[in-house]
Structure 1
Amino acid sequence: MGTRNDEIAGLLQEYADLIAITGGDAFKVRVYEKAARSVGGYRQDVACLDVGGLRRIPNVGGSIAGKIDEYLHTGAIHQLEELRARIPAGVRQLITIPSLGPRKAMVLYQECGVDSVESLEEAIRTGRLCGLHGFGEKTEDNLLHGIELMRKAGRRVNIGVAMAVAEEVVAALSAMPGCLRCAYAGSLRRMKDTIGDVDVLATARDAPALMAAFTTLPSVAEVIVHGETKSSIRTASGLQVDLRVVPRDSWGAALQYFTGSKPHNIRTREIAVHKKLKLSEYGVFDVATGEKIVSADEAEVYGMLGLPWIPPPLREDSGEIEAALRGELPQVVAEEDIRGDLHTHTDLTDGLASLEEMVAAAAARGYAYYAVTDHAPNLYMQRMTDDKALDQRERMRQLGDAYPEMCLLHGTELNIDPDGNVDWPPDFLAGFDLCVASVHSHFTQSAAEMTRRFVRACENRNVKIIGHPTCRTIGKREPVEADWEEVFRACARTGTALEIDAFPDRLDLPAELVRRAQEYGVLFSIGSDAHAVPHLSMMRYGVGTAQRGWLAPDRIINTWPVGRLQEFLAAPGARS
């Protein structure tokens, strides 16, 4: 079962936003924002803590601990409810528009009566914001683009949100007497970036009893449909979950059918027709006799079609059928292939856990190597200095004695400035075991400028990985524009790896670019970008993105044995 940390973190962030909307103290806003981040990334389930335990969470003082405790016992925070009552729901929704902050949302409401996303769009298009301080033509364009982004995302959520709900539901149903099998399917099983709703399949001795248990789970806010073999509910966060109970002997066929995708299923049904078979969610049937041939095992369903089992992330009708027929289906990377994490942060910069806590958690995952890559000084708000970096390096050397089975790498995440330069001079950078370089600002440069920026970073002999290359934040910020083929050529020429950032709101490099980059011989790294101990488990989403990009383990540097990785990190590469 999942924790309630994200739920409570969301409430604290909402409280911070409402304080800002109502013109409250900026310091108080930051206090609640920091507390929200700390609760969201805390290693324990905060629902199991008393007030004393809550106060031991970083950035959570007595007042905030009291609010969390109040929510855990009553289901509400009265001060939050009071703020909600003062601000119309439509105004609160405005701050979900990318590029629109709480203060500007309140100005729009007070000065122009804008109280919804729709009324904001209408106000921009009719010129009602003309002359309003802080809302020039460029700001209006950004707001319209933000509204477009928000609508494109719709009710979809990132894979991390959906996975937490799905695994909680599957675990709860699997524990029910009479439940024989239970698993999630759909786009979640295919590891898509965003999920519209969660599909869950089950087999059970008593389907109505399992349906009754499903519709009364604690996470259920609304029962949409309640039937004997299919029910749909909506969680408190608004995510729809559909449960289907299928016959035991139809499990494999149902799992294949409800995993999708629709275009993939059309292709498999076409193959069945050519073999004088019929494929449905109930099984594979002989057309002439109507006899069910196979249905209980998904691999047997594919086998009857003359295909090997196809990993779910590949099932998008993007060439997987043809590759399978030719015997050329890739053996894509699996999470167990990952030997270490090369992109993580501690509380020295913007992380939430100490160096010691992060190293211990990496060791508990069985990693052969682990890198800490805290931010470099040009990301000024992180307050990194030379002395802090050197002190952390010494602490890591000392920690290495306590973890002889794990190679500790002292790294840094550099900032690629608008000209392609990075923090620190070459001599200082040479002291790091690993340098990741990422773009953190000036996202609106032209494609030509951004391409030169990346190429120059690749040509820096100290840079080994380009972090979260497209800079996208799913549903909030579009990818930067660049000539990606030119970037891929530069990576291949210089031996610079491209990262697949596994954090669920990034998943960057996206799968489609991963697949294209392979054509140029590019190497990759999958990094969790963890800022707290629980974030280390985000690696699974990066692996899913790599799978969707048809990526085999050998092209990923953190699947390599430690010796091979160290040779790669030590090699200067082909630099200009």
Structure 2
Amino acid sequence: MTSPIPGKRTRAGAHPEESGAPAPFLPPGSLHRFPNARHAGPRHRRHGPPRLDDVTRSNEEVEALLREYADLLLITGGDAFKARAYEKAARAIAGYPRDVSRLDAKGLREIPGVGKSIADKVVEYLRTGSVPAVEEARAAIPAGVRQLTAIPALGPKKAMMLYEELHIASIDELSDAIHDHKLRDLKGFGPKTEENILHGIALMQAAGDRFPLNVAMSVADDVVAELCRVAGCEACEYAGSLRRMKETVGDIDILVAADESAPFMEAFAHLPYTAEVIARGEKKTSIRTTKGLQVDLRVLPLDSWGAGLQYFTGSKAHNIRVRAIAMRHGLKLSEYGLFDAKSGRKIASRSEEDVYARLGMDWIPPTLREDRGEIEAALNGRLPRLVAESDLRGDLHTHTNLTDGLEPLEEMIEAAGRRGYAYYAVTDHAPKLYMQQMTDEKILAQRARIRDLDRARGRGGMRLLHGVELNIDVEGDVDWPDDFLEDFDLCVASVHTQFGQSREEMTRRLLRACENPNVNIIGHPTTRLIGKRPGIDADLDAVFAACARTGTALEINAHPDRLDLSDENILRAREHGARFAVDSDAHSTLDVAALRYGVGTAQRGWLTPDDVINTWPLTRLRRFLRKDGHG
């Protein structure tokens, strides 16, 4: 571990090497809002650039409708091409930066992938709240069958087959049928399929009522913004697992510091997205939002702010250890402060830093508070200076509409430029993912265009890198031969298909990719989709060791559905000496802001800026990409 590195904030758009000082550590969710305090600035501001979640609720509703209709088409045996068209339109609308409810049919047709029929349905839905074609498809399929399609490893056609052949219309009925071996006589249902379905059911049940990190963050940011506008707000912040940047969130804890609680409880209960007031009191009110998330609001006196924030941030295991240390010092720690156990005199409470300092510890970043060694490190002054979003100099995994991205090259570059990057890589898919329809001619034409744009930007501008996302096939080979790959600035290689190989086969597959001299980054290394698809079965320690040995970085894919590698795997890979790349895997200009979630995951894995290759100056990054000295 290294000691925390003091530093000052660099000027807007500057990278630390340009200002001569490292960027400060600003953990996600750690920015206290003190609207009435000295030097407070605005009442509410977001961390960094516009967030991924700045998509209107109309866009989200339309996306959900189109995705549902695509599933319904597949369940009923409809045209697969038509279903894919609706899926593509759903993605395009989800990534569209404007509110689609403000567009007419003509405006909607300007969105890539939205044709006349889809545009007409969207207009009808926004005008009336329903679409007859969707309602008819819903009526034709039992609700239980639609529920089955949510199980990882069970597609729409198999779900409908189970209903038609065995009258299975619920997850419980499916689980019972598998245990009774009733599926094995059906075409396409063998022992391995049964095993995969049971694993998928367990994955769904484990997720329970938990929500993706970005969904919870969107709600929390909105709630904090609203409550900061209430007169008398001294401070407002979200706490709990969200502040610790866990990959899924069960509920949201919001804290307010104020003299009077009533105005905040009233405002909270009447937020526009409040669907239900679960409980309402003087110190705590709980609501359920229209998205189904429970949000708890607590109002504390300003003097107890630090102790309350520490207490409600958790984790439970972390807090138990901290309270035990307090007891050994003859102290008592609660959400109201740190007190002398005998006299009851308050010793510290106003800031988290004071509470930790009085216990002999450095302030512990929220993302580390999981009782995984952070308390010992804080007691000994050995906490790392964690990587922050402001440390990132570029993004090394992004897509354009040349393959499955939503927006053209120039718009993606412009979005990256607004983030003040020093470099930016475009890595569209290679031809082995046949649905992307990549060719040698297309990729070379893109390279020529990127080189022209890079020259036009000049030496002082953001440098453009031409890369590619390769597919790692079942043997560990990638799309193009070495002589073709040598001319890319970097190559990301990822597993996209055939996830069911044996542990030995999958390990060999990944090791061969790591050893390829032209592969620089293993993209979304375990391929998991949180709550939807488990990670591949491979000897990850062998893969991590190979990455360290060959100078191949492991990606921390920042997409909220992936967050791959996970924090636990980052900790394991770091022990092997591996390096990492925190990438957005952006498929639209909105997606570039997902990096906040990747950084939070990197922090939970105890990573410093030196561990993350896209915090490095371009000259050092290029040395690493040559794989001849590992940077």
TM-score (norm 2): 0.87
Match of 1:151 in 2: 205
Question: Is 1:248 the counterpart of 2:302 in the alignment?
Answer: yes
Instruction: Quote the residue 1:211 is aligned against.
Output: 265
Which residue of the other structure, out of 450, 459, 477, is the alignment partner of 2:515? 459
Could you tell me how far apart the structure 2 residues matched to 1:296 and 1:403 are?
A: 49
Could you tell me which residue of structure 2 aligns to residue 445 of structure 1? 501
Instruction: Decide which of 101, 104, 114 is 2:155's aligned counterpart.
Output: 101
AA aligned to 1:101 is G
Shift in CA distance, 458/170, structure 1 to aligned 2, threshold 3 Å: same
Q: Distance in 2 between matches of 1:524 and 1:130?
A: 43
Between stretches 515-524 and 42-51, larger displacement belongs to 42-51
C-alpha distance in 1 between matches for 2:270 and 2:126: 19
State the Cα distance separating 1:150 from its structure 2 match. Answer: 0.9
Separation in structure 1 between the aligned mates of residue 347 and residue 133 of structure 2, nearest angstrom: 62
Which amino acid is 2:228 matched to?
S
1:377, 1:384 within 8 Å by CA — same for their partners in 2?
yes
- Larger RCO, structure (CA 8 Å, separation 6 or more): 2
Q: 1:185·1:198 contact (CA, 8 Å) conserved in 2? A: yes
Partner of 1:33: 87
Aligned to 1:8: 62
Corresponding position of 1:406: 462
Partner of 1:235: 289
Partner of 1:485: 541
Give the aligned CA root-mean-square deviation in angstroms.
Answer: 1.8
Task: Give the residue type in structure 2 aligned to 1:511.
Answer: D
CA shift for structure 1 position 417: 1.4
In structure 2, the partner of 1:339 is: 393
**46-55 or 167-176: bigger deviation:** 46-55
1:512 to 556, 565, 568: 568
Asked whether the 8 Å contact 1:15–1:32 carries over to 2, the reply is yes
What residue is the counterpart of 1:561 in the other structure? 617
Paired residue secondary structure (1:31)? helix
Query: How far has the Cα of 1:554 moved from its partner?
Result: 0.8
Q: Equivalents in 1 of 2:375, 2:411: separation in Å?
A: 45
Q: Where does structure 1 differ by over 6 angstroms across 4 or more consecutive aligned residues?
A: none
Q: 1:191·1:541 contact (CA, 8 Å) conserved in 2?
A: yes
Structure 1 unmatched runs, 5+: none
The yes-or-no answer on 1:475 pairing with 2:526 is: no
Q: Using the alignment, how far apart are the partners of 1:87 and 1:184 within structure 2?
A: 41
Cα shift at 1:193: 1.2
Identity fraction in percent: 63
Report if aligned partners of 1:188, 1:195 keep a CA contact under 8 Å in 2. yes
Return the alpha-carbon distance in structure 1 between the equivalents of residues 68 and 466 of structure 2: 36
Q: Which residue of 1 aligns with 2:243?
A: 189
Q: Which segments of 5 or more consecutive residues in structure 2 lack a partner in the other structure? A: 1-53
Map of 1:166 onto structure 2: 220
Aligned to 2:71: 17
Q: Deviations over 1:29-50 (max 9, x none)?
A: 1221111111111122334434
- Judge which range, 502-511 or 72-81, deviates more: 72-81
Match of residue 363 from structure 1: 417
Structure 1 residue 97: Cα displacement: 0.3
Q: 2: distance between equivalents of 1:292 and 1:2?
A: 45
The Cα offsets for residues 166-223 of structure 1, whole Å up to 9 and x where unpaired, read as: 1122222223333332211111110111111111111235422222222222222222
Q: Secondary structure at the match of 2:230?
A: coil
State how far apart, in whole Å, the 2-side matches of 1:66 and 1:197 are: 37
Displacement, 1:159? 1.0
Higher mean alpha-carbon deviation, 382-391 vs 228-237, is at 228-237
Q: Is the deviation greater in 520-529 or in 447-456? A: 447-456
Distance of 2:101 and 2:513 partners within structure 1: 45
Which has the higher mean CA deviation after the structures are superposed, 320-329 or 179-188? Answer: 179-188
Q: Cα distance, 1:299 vs. partner?
A: 1.2
State the 1:420 CA deviation. Answer: 1.4
Listed one character per residue, the Cα deviations across residues 522-541 of structure 1 (whole Å, up to 9, x for unaligned) are 11111111111111011111
Question: Where do 1:69-88 residues align within 5 Å?
Answer: 69-88=123-142
In the TM superposition, residue 510 of structure 1 has moved relative to its aligned partner by 1.4
In the alignment, the residues of structure 2 paired with residue 67 and residue 222 of structure 1 have an alpha-carbon distance, to the nearest angstrom, of 30
- Is 1:372 the counterpart of 2:372? The answer is no
Q: How many residues align?
A: 574
Q: Matched residue of 2:234: which SS?
A: strand
Q: Contact 1:363–1:403 (CA<8 Å) still a contact in 2? A: no
Between 211-220 and 419-428, the greater mean CA deviation after superposition: 211-220
Q: 2:376 aligns with which of 315, 318, 322?
A: 322
**Matched residue type, 1:472:** R
Query: d(CA) in 1 for partners of 2:140 and 2:350?
Result: 56
Task: Give how far 1:14 is off.
Answer: 1.0
Q: Larger deviation: 229-238 or 155-164?
A: 229-238
- In structure 2, the residue corresponding to 1:152 is in which secondary structure? helix
Q: Is the aligned partner of 1:527 residue 2:580? A: no
